[in-house]
């Protein structure tokens, strides 16, 4: 069976553009509600989620917000999934009203230890849909256009250290020119792009989006453990 990498386009602000991108074959739209040039209010996010077709996730991105703030934003915005992109404690997962994706900044080849230590603190792993691997930058969280060393994931897989992990979402410095190589190396469940398909922060270039979606379908067959029955 052909395995298809899921696609999340993050950092959208315009409802009309979000609807077009969803219709192009994107699986999820990211709405940044953490400090960022791509920030949207819950009301702006609601305008986007109201335009999305069925089965396209609206993912709200937060960083170090308390659970009351996140849950209030969930109710007002209509998002389906919460992405935690800060230094959140694993206990936060239990307090949230939507399932989560947890982002980890990839600092070095020992990344897997930090991930597993965090996962050990999550009581109900059914509430954690995936983990997102992003480039580390001391003064920014995501949307930087920087990559980490994808070989770190390949090395962890060779040591069988990925077994039992939630599905992986690959982020950080992706665009149509590199995403095929990234998929071949990392073998992720999904890819996440923001600045790599933009004309300006929060404004996507639809030609770049189309090229990115096409590029995810090229390359070697996927053999990721996250696709095994």
Element (H, E) at 42: helix 42-49
Beta bridge partners of 128: 100
Helix 206-215 to helix 15-23 angle (10° resolution) is 30
Of the residues 134, 139, 184, 211, which is catalytic? 134
Of the residues 10, 27, 50, 124, which is catalytic? 10
SS3 annotation, 51-104 = CCCCCCEEEEEECCCCHHHHHHHHHHHCCCEEEECCCCCHHHHHHCCCCEEEEE
Q: Is position 124 annotated as part of the catalytic site?
A: no
Percent composition of the chain: helix, strand, coil (DSSP 3-state, to 5): 35, 20, 45
d(CA 169, CA 50): 25
Q: Is position 134 annotated as part of the catalytic site?
A: yes
80 Cβ contact list (under 8 Å, min separation 6): 49, 57, 58, 59, 98
Q: What one-character DSSP code corresponds to residue 33?
A: -
Active site residues: 10, 134
């Amino acid at each position: 069976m052909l395995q298809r990498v899921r696609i999340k386009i993050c950092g959208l602000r315009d409802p009309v553009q979000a609807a077009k991108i969803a219709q192009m074959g994107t699986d999820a739209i990211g709405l940044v509600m953490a400090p960022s040039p791509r920030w949207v209010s819950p009301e702006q996010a609601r305008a986007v989620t109201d335009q999305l077709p069925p089965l396209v996730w609206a993912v709200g991105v937060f960083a170090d917000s308390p659970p009351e703030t996140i849950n209030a934003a969930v109710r007002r915005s209509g998002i389906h999934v919460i992405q935690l992109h800060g230094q959140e404690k694993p206990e936060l997962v239990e307090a949230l009203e939507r399932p989560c994706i947890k982002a980890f900044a990839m600092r070095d080849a020992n990344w897997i230890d930090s991930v597993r230590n965090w996962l050990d603190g999550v009581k109900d792993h059914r509430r954690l849909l995936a983990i997102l691997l992003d480039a580390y930058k001391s003064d920014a969280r995501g949307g930087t256009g920087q990559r980490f060393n994808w070989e770190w994931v390949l090395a962890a897989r060779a040591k069988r250290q990925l077994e039992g992990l939630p599905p992986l979402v690959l982020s950080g410095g992706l665009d149509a020119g590199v995403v095929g190589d990234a998929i071949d190396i990392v073998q992720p469940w999904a890819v996440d792009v923001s600045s790599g398909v933009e004309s300006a922060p929060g404004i996507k270039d639809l030609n770049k989006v189309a090229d990115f979606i096409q590029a995810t379908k090229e390359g070697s067959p996927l053999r990721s453990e996250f696709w095994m029955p």
